[in-house]
Amino acid sequence: MIQRILPAFLLALGLGILAGCSSPAVITLNDGREIQAVDTPEYDEESGFYEFEQLDGKRVRVNKDQVRTVKEL
């Protein structure tokens, strides 16, 4: 009985930890469009672009001047 419970518990614990690490975000652009990101966008000061991954898995770069707000959900 313990041979089944322990691995199931460890698996559930691992999935809970991974789910807690990501914080989805919504990026609102100056033209009103909203883009959903899997995680909080990273800002690259050298290039002036926000970089993030969309829900469909694409990596996207958006110019800082086009971004109105970045909100975590």
pTM confidence score: 0.67
Q: Classify residue 57 as left (phi > 0), alpha (psi -120 to 50) or beta.
A: left
In this prediction, residue 2 has a pLDDT band, given cuts at 50, 70 and 90, of low
Higher pLDDT, 3 or 64: 64
Q: For the chain, percent helix, then strand, then coil, each to nearest 5?
A: 30, 40, 30
- pLDDT tops 70 at residue 31: yes
Q: What is the pLDDT of residue 18?
A: 54
Residues 14 and 12: their CA atoms lie apart, in Å, by 5
DSSP 28-50: EETTS-EEEESSPPEEETTTTEE
Q: What is the pLDDT of residue 5?
A: 79
- pLDDT tops 80 at residue 19: no
Domains of the chain are 22-72 (2.30.30.100)
In this prediction, residue 4 has a pLDDT band, given cuts at 50, 70 and 90, of confident
